[in-house]
Amino acid sequence: MAIVSAEEALKVIKSGDKIYVHSVAAAPQHLLDNLVKRSGELRNVELYHLHTEGEAPYTRSEYEGIFHTNAFFIGKNVRKAIEEGRGSYIPVFLSEIPRLFKQKIIQLNVALISVSPPDKNGFCSLGTSVDATLAALDSADIVIAQVNKFVPRTLGDSQIHSSKINYLVPFDAPLHEVSWGNPTDIEQKIGNHVASLVEDGATLQMGIGNIPNAVLSVLGNHKDLGIHTEMFSDGVIPLVEKGVITGRYKKKHRGKIVSTFQYGSKRLYDFVDDNPLITMLPVDYVNDTSIIRQNPKVTAINSAIEIDITGQVCADSIGYKMYSGVGGQMDFIRGAALSEGGKAIIALPAATKYGESKIATHLKEGAGVVTTRAHVHYVVTEYGIAYLYGKNLVERAKELIKVAHPDHQERLEKEAFERFKHQYSQGVYTYL
């Protein structure tokens, strides 16, 4: 282990190297900013990462042919580069990304990470993102860590001994933050509908954004909720403080909030710092359906870009344009479905901001099916709850059209009739 400047540490990177970049709020901005300063000496350097926040300077057009980003999940900071060919998307379940490193399917040369300062025993914390990072550290030949006093010391499997780090680069900078505004009326209506499906004693998985926050905001009278989720944000804090989140009935890690990463405000990062309530674990464990299903009443709340009238969910692309990724949606939708009393929920506004229906007769050409029609149980919009499980295609279409935007319901009815013909008539189904 050597304590050096970023410039000195990054000299080890060679043309053709494959580099892992720490995820979400933990993206090591100081190392990335200094990496591009070596652009004149490098060619064909590949970067691999999940969703990252902050600047992604290696994606700029002037670095084409020098750096190429490979995203397991596309954030807004790399979306344009991927669309323009300076980056690529790797479709994979979030739970399986560590396997790509462990089995050397992707052989990493260097890992760039953020860590807390070493404690008295020499252990640093990976802070807000464990996800696939432990597997990347074990796979990479060289580990370069930005040591940052603003990285919270999270507990669980988030510790790495400083002896496993080749280069420590001291540089303090606040973590990337996000502040969620108040939910819109539409988002709050969706949140209220979803919250009505959450039972006391349920184990929750939710993503980020105003809809999950809207759900959490109306759970204040619930009892003994648990959290086992790939990520969480500020919305859980008030429920912990009110004693709503206790984890009392969880079968796995009872009494603990289990997560693989967090993203939110400084309040969230202060909350998770040295907090024994929080257990940070690798994503191949957290998102393992065999682990998820052991908890009771797993209620998985995920979103979508569009959904067709049979229940096929597109969550990663707008037609041919890649927008986000497979992520952990399928991991938790399936895990929830297998849980005793579990509920698999897709929650989305009925229409886009441009007025286009998100419930469609068929998905756009090129759209990817992230969650199949066989996996979805509930679809929730601001207009209500559609229950699809156990229903045939015609019944599903009728359920979904009921929660579509009223401006589109008549058209959807006509298109559904054209698709299913006489099967669609007045609840009498004759199969061809």
CB of 37 closer than 8 Å to CB of 9: no
What is the secondary structure of 53-90 as a DSSP string?
-S--GGGSGGGTTTEEEEESS--HHHHHHHHTTSEEE-
Kindly report the backbone phi and psi dihedral angles of residue 342, in degrees, each rounded to the nearest multiple of 5, phi listed first: -75, 160
Structure tokens at 237: 């804090």
Catalytic residue (choose from 53, 187, 230, 399): 230
- Residue of 119, 142, 132, 137 lying closest to 12 (CA atoms): 142
CB of 272 closer than 8 Å to CB of 278: yes
CB of 67 closer than 8 Å to CB of 41: no
Angle at 77 between CA 76 and CA 79, to 5 degrees: 60
- Residue of 402, 316, 403 lying closest to 364 (CA atoms): 316
Measure the CA–CA gap between 203 and 295, rounded to whole angstroms.
Answer: 7
- Residue of 345, 352, 356, 362 lying closest to 397 (CA atoms): 362
Angle at 9 between CA 8 and CA 14, to 5 degrees: 100
CB of 95 closer than 8 Å to CB of 328: yes
Active site residue 230: yes
- Enzyme catalytic residues: 230
